Amino acid sequence: MAGIIGRLYRGETTFDFIGSRRRWYAASGILLLICVLSFGIRGFNLGIEFSGGTQFQLKAPESVSAVDVTSVVEGAGAELASAPQIVGSGATRSIVVKTGELPVAEQTTVQKALASRFNQEVSVSAVSSSWGRDITTKAIRGLVVFLVAVCIFIGIRFEPKMAIAAIVALLHDLVLSAGVYSLVGFEVTPSTVVGLLTILGFSLYDTVVVFDKVDENVRGILGGSRMTYSEAANLAVNQTLARSINTSLIALLPVAGLLFVGAGLLGVGTIKDLALVLFVGLAAGAYSSLFLATPVLCDLKEREPRYAALRKRVAAKRVATTGKASAPVKAGGGASRGARADEADGDMVEDVEPATAGAAVGGESRAAASTPPRPGARPKRPPQKSRGGGGRPSAKRRR
């Protein structure tokens, strides 16, 4: 494993991330289309912090079903805003019921009806719709401010086109994470927003690391003709691949424990909304930084005249080196087949098949015969032909 990572960093073994960018674009497009359709068809299960209303929560043993709780709430004159949710398991099992906005008197009526029917303590939470709208507006405002700050930072630290590519990756992660919430039906709470901003920061961090290596590899590239912008960027992605994989796995393991063990097996429902957005967002951020942000950057940069001219120079040099037309250097693609990075001078050379043994020997003999002797050098004696296949004279000659 260490040998593979070392070869990746030195550029001896590379994966063509940039050349296969259309595959990544197609995969991301399909996922985003599913998410957008889910937005329109299923919508979101908004918590009362965003939608407003009244929420009743009571501890309920396994013998109490959600249907029983629904019948009691409706019998008390309240109308459910969404289906009841079961939170936790065993001794911590609870049932949560959400209704529309209720006056204090009706809240008390429903609370007493649930307490008397199931002989359990019932907690009540009420949020007005105007307060919920304020929370939603502030969440959207915070997200917009975050994205603008990201654009300014990357535009100053690197360049505007890197900022555009980073924002495309961030929006991809945002829509994908929201789509999973819509498909699964988890409740959207303020914890979800906090987790969303967290994973956007992680995705940005991963993208900036890759872009920093890209910026290092393309420094001074216009002064030569050894590789294109896309090839230098593809090398940067390969050089940071091991770091990205290790960072993502280390971050995903504890979050997976929260989601699958804490919320799934132990039934701790208070952390599932935060754990889901972190898990999906971390995975999407690792994917977008490698397979989306850098290919988008290469598409933007290869349209510039100076990098288009560089691509033509690289192709012309490779043709001149091999003496025949080689595979074309495509815009946004990786290195042409047969070309590899020479570590001695950083140039691009073609792999040449080794000559046969007979041709090599004949070539050396002809080269030696055609080379004139140096002045003052002692002439070499021609090799003596062996007689009888050995160095000692035969017995017949000695006699």
Question: Is the confidence at residue 333, as pLDDT, over 90?
Answer: no
State the CATH class of domain 53-127.
Answer: alpha beta
pLDDT score at 363: 41
Q: Could you read off the pLDDT of 7-53 as tens digits, one per residue? A: 655 656 678 889 889 999 999 999 999 999 999 998 888 878 777 78
φ/ψ (deg, to 5) at 245 = -65, -45
Sorting pLDDT into bands at 50, 70 and 90, what band is 378?
Answer: low
Give the span between the Cα atoms of 126 and 104, in whole angstroms.
Answer: 9
Structural domain boundaries of the chain?
2-45+131-301, 53-127
Provide CATH code, domain 2-45+131-301: 1.20.1640.10
The pTM of the full predicted model, rounded to 2 decimals, is: 0.70
Q: Could you read off the pLDDT of 219-251 as tens digits, one per residue? A: 988 888 888 999 999 989 988 888 888 888 888
Sorting pLDDT into bands at 50, 70 and 90, what band is 269?
Answer: low
Q: Could you read off the pLDDT of 300-330 as tens digits, one per residue? A: 999 999 999 998 998 888 888 876 544 545 5
HSE-CB for 142 with a 13 A CA cutoff: 13
Rounded to whole angstroms, the maximal C-alpha distance in the chain is: 137
H-type alpha helices, the chain: 2-10, 21-41, 48-51, 66-75, 104-118, 129-157, 160-184, 190-217, 229-239, 241-256, 272-288, 294-301, 305-322, 357-370, 395-398
Question: Is the confidence at residue 366, as pLDDT, over 50?
Answer: no
